[in-house]
Structure 1
Amino acid sequence: MSDPILTLRDVRLSLQGNAGPVEILRGIDMSVARGETLGLVGPSGSGKSSLLMIMGGLERASSGEVLALGHDLTALNEDALARLRRTNMGVVFQSFHLIPTMTALENVATPLELAGARDAFARAAEELEAVGLSHRAAHYPAQLSGGEQQRVALARAAAPRPAILLADEPTGNLDAASGAAIMDLLFTLRDRHGATLVMVTHAPDLAARCDRVLRLEDGRIAQGDAARAAE
């Protein structure tokens, strides 16, 4: 791969459980090309979400190397990781993670304000319009449907115009109609900002829209996909 935006080398993750250490990831080697859309699939407990969080610096690998945009995430402290994410990465979670005491507009504008953007609210309004929610800008999360909350979350992730979009089961908590709408929006935002998109999904129709799909099994890339992990 000539220009990878993400590279993982022998990445392992072990967490302490009640009965001792639990191996979550067991030696992941993979690269993601700039502008690529990669789907991560596999059974529950296979390590997909943990892998995604490591890519975003939200979880630290126990060992191995994680390179994102030329930075070794394993060598950065928490403040440096936060700065890198704030300007270069957008993350969309299954459960939205909106701030309940802030309006939709404020939720989208907050990361921009933290990054020092002078036009934070103007850009937030633009992103809400892009996901069809300009008429709900003054509403709080509790006043929005699940699909609307995920649209706000997408707008918030896209507002900094990140180089990398990470999505963890973005349609997992939604009904079929809302999920389909979110899928379309996710790919529209990717194209609009020219972002690299990596997503965890159980939805076959969402995985089918990716440029490449890797399957995880028991903390490893499935044997049949191992060669394609570094394509």
Structure 2
Amino acid sequence: MTLTLDGNAGRVEILHGISLDVQSGQSVGLIGPSGSGKSSLLMLMGGLEQATTGRVQALGKDLTAMDEDQLARFRRDSMGIVFQSFHLIPTMTALENVATPLELAGHRDAFERAREELEAVGLAARADHYPAQMSGGEQQRVALARAAAPRPKILLADEPTGNLDGTNGAAIMDLLFGLRDRHGSTLILVTHADDLAARCDRVIGLRDGRIVNERGPAAADAGEVA
């Protein structure tokens, strides 16, 4: 697939002929310098950006053939997404932030499951606190709990430790991989840190919108393509 966007200086080619298979249950680290296309690739994988050419398929569905409403429902039901910024709703408590996507998906046990996920990230005692009452590390834990609460088949994480110090960043990564293991999700992780990427089954390097190298087992016989 390719991605070309219109900028102030004209059309800019972001991704050039990317071809990539990810097997169900794999963890994949995307690394490369700033501007290499890591986050753009992640956005295409999540249906948050439309490919200019080519197709994006996930769980047997063609994301490039879906409209915005279909994509939103697909993400709600099958994906958890964690960004560098926490994107919590400031007027909702931690519990309400985690429960909201579950309620929208029609889960009757939304608040029960939300409490379980907050407990899993060590924030059971902060369930009734608002984002402004929590540290950055705690807010990112809430964001992780919110992403994991629907028990998604695919977890996408874009620099989830970028706004945190080293100690909090390491704790968040432990939690992220723990949630992945607990739910059996496929994990795609964008990071600048080689040591974090090395925890993944595969590490894919990008430069100038192209895949330039890969370490770890290639997508093969681990299971169905995610």
Instruction: Please give the range of the TM-score, normalised by the shorter of the 2 chains.
Output: over 0.9
Corresponding residue for 1:139? Answer: 129
Cα distance in structure 1, aligned partners of 2:69 and 2:166: 39
Asked whether the 8 Å contact 1:214–1:229 carries over to 2, the reply is: no
Q: Is the 8 A contact 2:102 2:150 kept in 1?
A: yes
Q: Note if contact 2:23-2:219 (Cα within 8 Å) is conserved in structure 1.
A: no
Amino acid at match of 1:205: D
Which of 52, 62, 67 is 1:72 aligned to?
62
SS at structure 2 position matched to 1:155: helix
Q: 2:139 aligns with which of 124, 149, 154?
A: 149
Whether contact under 8 Å (2:82, 2:143) holds in the other structure is yes
Letter in 1 for 2:115: A
CA contact (8 A) 1:24 1:218 kept: yes
Aligned-residue Cα RMSD (Å) equals 1.4
Q: TM-score, normalised by structure 2?
A: 0.95
Question: In structure 2, what residue type is equivalent to 1:182?
Answer: I
Aligned-pair CA distance for 1:230 = 5.1
Once the two structures are TM-superposed, the CA of residue 225 in structure 1 deviates from its matched residue by 3.2
Question: Equivalents in 1 of 2:52, 2:92: separation in Å?
Answer: 36
Q: 4+ residue stretches of structure 1 with deviation over 2 A?
A: 228-231
- Residue by residue, what CA displacement relative to the aligned partner does 1:1-45 show, whole Å, maximum 9, x if unpaired? xxxxxxxxxx11111011110111111000101000000000000
Unaligned runs of 5+ in 2: 221-226
Which of 141, 161, 176 in structure 2 is aligned with 1:186? 176
Task: State which of 189, 194, 197 in structure 2 corresponds to 1:204.
Answer: 194
Q: Which amino acid aligns with 1:104?
A: A
* Structure 2 counterpart of 1:5: none
Match of 1:215 among 195, 201, 205: 205
Q: CA deviation at 1:48?
A: 0.3
Residue 225 in structure 1 maps to residue 225 in structure 2: no
Larger RCO (alpha carbons 8 Å, 6+ apart): 2
Contact 2:157 2:188 in 1 (8 A): yes
What is the rounded CA distance, in whole Å, between the counterparts of 1:175 and 1:164 in structure 2?
26
Aligned residue for 1:27, secondary structure, equals coil
Residue 13 of structure 1 is matched in structure 2 by 3
Q: Distance in 2 between matches of 1:93 and 1:40?
A: 14
Q: Deviations over 1:37-65 (max 9, x none)?
A: 00000000011001001101111111101
More strand by share: 1
Q: State how 1:31-70 maps to structure 2 within 5 Å.
A: 31-70=21-60
Contact 2:94 2:126 in 1 (8 A): yes
Q: Distance in 2 between matches of 1:63 and 1:188?
A: 35
Which among 155, 162, 181 is matched to residue 165 of structure 1?
Answer: 155
Amino acid at match of 2:4: S
| Residues 91 and 165 in structure 1, CA contact (< 8 A), matched pair in contact too | yes
- For residues 215 and 151 of structure 1, the distance between their equivalents in structure 2, rounded to whole angstroms, comes to 27
Deviations 1:130-157 (A, max 9, x none): 0000100111111110100000000000
The residue type equivalent to 2:92 in the other structure is M
Secondary structure in 2 matching 1:39: strand
Structure 1 residues without counterparts, runs of 5 or longer: 1-10
Is the counterpart of residue 84 in structure 1 residue 74 in structure 2? Answer: yes
